[in-house]
């Protein structure tokens, strides 16, 4: 199956209604209401020359699995072999629930044990609270043993699915590594670059079956912790966010940063709301997240933003991720407007680097970026470099918040395409943006645009409280990205996919949704294609109107040898 993702097309996702972005200097449209509820639960990478203009046509459209000449298998021995370990007692088909794991097992030397093993099996819930404080050179590695650990679906009425908290310098890993004695051979995930066959084969697999209870259902929620690592897990069908990270903070509480966290090599897909939801979007104060590392992740088909990260601090790096098909609940999002972006990124202080990512598909805004310092925060120096930002119904990039403290923001060698305005399909009062980047008037500090390439008739930027510097930017055709094996239908535009709805409550009058042949929807984590015109016909119950589309492999590595080889997944 070829994997050219065609620009624009039929109905898909939801966008702000004025000027192509959040109101300049006004309401940010973030999820403060959700955060209040959540406190209860814890030819582009090798560019040459001064500018890069991608070819007008894709360099390849097939499922390219050609050998790149490098060994895709990471060597074993990621962690030192254990000398001590402890295996949690567990009963197949029941919950594993330890609100205080140290108190539950006082015989364990939690300051020294090397491995905490969770037996392979299916469990309705998993809770590990009060994890120990360890050190960077002697972490606690938490892993599956003798098979995959599958969490969920939960019992009816359960108020969480998978919760972890406390401690520092622990590593949650589903990595198969016989030398390190982690994981299981029958659950290797995408080891050796086998993304196409990784679905359902990670060491930890979270499936919430879209359970909902006042936003509290996360595929995995972590709180009251710092300096931890998450890798080689799969999260699907979460009732809200796929992975939620938050050290909550009330007025008067001392600061408790969630610092030096690393989240990588995860696969989060088909979520009801966000893929990642890190940090706090409500009113200050909040705890900062300095040193956050996010890389080699697939965040695919999310109801709200694929990537929502807040409170970013010094040393943060977000790179080589693919965020694709976001904001699918653009017609019926229960949180209202401004929830249908691809990414929402909010920064507090320090040097922050966002590079080599793919942001593909959204309704409101592809990248909603915020400069959001709190009392005592220093300047922000943020760079967006070598990212591919493509396919949206409204605005490509919004730069909001405020900045007048010596901060700086740079956008270098990014490529933007698929910026044709169609959001008025949902909101007839919406107006088209006039530029690819829209800047709030409260952003006074320096902004630089260098060697970016964007297509269409829009200006590069508009707004702002000062005039950005610019050089080497090119308004020209930008090739669509192609993937090794996305599994997305060959002939379908990126924005053809949305969550199935009977009607469009975010459109005036809540009109019924009329589907036409060829349109694509997600229903219960499964993709369907319309065979006939229909309204209010649920796909699994109306085979004459809907055809099942095979589950996507989601091998979202850029086609080898293409202009985007090296951007996104390596």
1-45+214-526 folds as Pectate Lyase C-like (2.160.20)
pLDDT at 107 over 90: yes
* pLDDT for the residue numbered 228: 99
Tens-digit pLDDT profile for residues 398-430: 999 999 999 999 999 999 999 999 999 999 999
Query: What are the pLDDT digits (tens) for 310-352?
Result: 999 999 999 999 999 999 999 998 877 778 999 999 999 999 9
Q: Residue 104 — left, alpha, or beta (φ > 0 → left; ψ -120 to 50 → alpha)? A: alpha
Q: What is the pLDDT of residue 214?
A: 60
Q: Is the pLDDT of residue 272 over 50?
A: yes
More confident residue, 12 or 164: 164
pLDDT of residue 349: 99
Percent of the chain with pLDDT over 90: 84
Tens-place pLDDT, residues 24-40: 233 334 444 334 333 33
* Beta-carbon contacts of residue 258 (< 8 Å; ≥ 6 apart): 225, 226, 245, 246, 247, 279, 287, 288, 289
- What residues contact 489, with CB distance under 8 A and at least 6 apart? 1, 520, 529, 549
**pLDDT on residue 457:** 96
Cα–chain-centroid distance for residue 40?
Answer: 22
Residue 500 above 50 pLDDT?
Answer: yes
Confidence band (pLDDT; 50, 70, 90) for 241? very high
Tell whether the model's pLDDT for residue 182 goes beyond 80.
yes
pLDDT number for residue 391: 99
Q: Is the dihedral of CA 479, 485, 491, 497 positive or negative?
A: negative
Q: What share of the chain has pLDDT > 70, as a percent?
A: 87
* pLDDT score recorded for residue 348: 98
DSSP SS3 for 195: helix
* Least confident interval from 49-63, 163-177, 308-322, 469-483: 49-63
pLDDT at 468 over 50: yes
Q: What share of the chain is helix, strand, coil (3-state, %, to 5)?
A: 5, 35, 60
Residue with tokens 């040097």: 351
- Residue spans of the domains in the chain: they are 1-45+214-526
- pTM attached to this predicted model: 0.89
Buried b (16+ CB within 10 A) or exposed e, 507-529: beeeeebebeeebbbbbebbbbb
User: Mean pLDDT throughout 123-130?
Assistant: 98
Residue 212 pLDDT: 77
pLDDT given for residue 50 in this prediction: 27
pLDDT in the model for residue 337: 75
What confidence score (pLDDT) does residue 72 get? Answer: 79
**403 DSSP assignment:** B
Over residues 366-388, the pLDDT tens digits come to: 999 999 999 999 999 999 999 99
Q: How confident is the model at residue 217 (pLDDT cuts 50, 70, 90)?
A: confident
Mean pLDDT of the chain, nearest integer: 89
pLDDT for the residue numbered 335: 79
């Amino acid at each position: 199956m070829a994997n050219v993702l065609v620009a624009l097309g039929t109905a898909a996702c939801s966008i702000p209604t004025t000027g192509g972005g959040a109101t300049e200097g006004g309401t940010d449209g973030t999820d403060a209401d959700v955060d209040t509820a959540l406190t209860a639960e814890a030819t582009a990478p090798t560019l040459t020359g001064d500018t890069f203009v991608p070819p007008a046509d894709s360099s390849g459209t097939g499922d390219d699995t050609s050998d790149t000449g490098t060994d895709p298998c990471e060597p074993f021995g990621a962690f030192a072999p254990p000398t001590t370990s402890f295996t949690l007692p567990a009963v197949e088909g029941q919950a594993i629930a330890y609100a205080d794991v140290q108190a539950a097992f006082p015989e364990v030397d939690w300051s020294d044990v090397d491995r905490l093993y969770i037996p392979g099996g299916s469990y309705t819930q998993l809770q590990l609270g009060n994890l120990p404080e360890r050190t960077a050179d002697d972490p606690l590695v938490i892993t599956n043993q003798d098979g995959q650990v599958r969490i969920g679906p939960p019992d009816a009425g359960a108020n969480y699915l998978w919760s972890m908290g406390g401690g520092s310098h622990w590593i949650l890993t589903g990595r198969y590594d016989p030398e390190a004695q982690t994981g299981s051979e029958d659950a290797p995930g995408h080891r050796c670059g086998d993304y196409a066959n990784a679905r359902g084969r990670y060491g930890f697999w979270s499936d919430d079956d879209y359970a909902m209870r006042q936003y509290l259902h996360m595929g995995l929620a972590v709180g009251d912790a710092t300096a931890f690592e998450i890798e080689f897990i799969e999260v699907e069908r979460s009732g809200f966010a796929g992975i939620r990270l938050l050290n909550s903070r009330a007025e008067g509480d001392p600061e408790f940063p969630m610092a030096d966290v690393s989240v990588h090599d995860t696969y989060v897909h088909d979520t009801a709301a966000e893929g990642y939801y890190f940090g706090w979007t409500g009113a200050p104060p909040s705890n900062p997240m300095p040193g956050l590392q996010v890389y080699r992740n697939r965040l695919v088909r999310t109801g709200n933003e694929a990537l929502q990260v807040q409170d970013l601090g010094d040393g943060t790096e977000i790179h080589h991720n693919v965020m694709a098909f976001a904001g699918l609940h653009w017609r019926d999002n229960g949180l209202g407007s401004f929830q249908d972006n691809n990414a929402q990124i909010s920064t507090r202080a320090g040097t922050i680097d966002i590079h080599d990512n793919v942001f593909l598909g959204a309704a409101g805004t592809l990248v909603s970026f915020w400069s959001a310092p709190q009392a005592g925060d220093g300047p922000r120096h943020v760079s967006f470099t070598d990212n591919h930002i493509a396919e949206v119904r409204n605005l490509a990039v919004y730069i909001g918040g405020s900045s007048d403290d010596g901060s700086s923001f740079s956008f270098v060698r990014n490529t933007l395409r698929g910026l044709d305005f169609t959001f008025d399909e949902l909101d007839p009062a919406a107006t088209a943006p006039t530029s690819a980047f829209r800047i709030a008037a409260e952003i006074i500090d320096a902004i630089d645009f260098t060697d970016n390439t964007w297509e269409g008739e829009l200006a590069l930027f508009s707004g702002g409280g000062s005039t950005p510097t610019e050089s080497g930017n090119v308004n020209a055709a930008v090739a669509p990205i192609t993937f090794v094996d996305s599994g997305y239908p060959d002939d379908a535009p990126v924005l053809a996919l949305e969550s199935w709805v009977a009607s469009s409550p975010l459109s005036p009058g809540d009109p019924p949704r009329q589907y036409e042949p060829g349109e694509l929807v997600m229903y219960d984590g499964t993709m369907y294609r319309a065979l006939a015109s229909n309204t209010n016909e649920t796909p699994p119950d109306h085979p004459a109107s809907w055809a099942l589309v095979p589950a996507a492999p989601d091998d979202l590595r850029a086609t080898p040898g293409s202009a985007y080889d090296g951007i996104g997944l390596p």
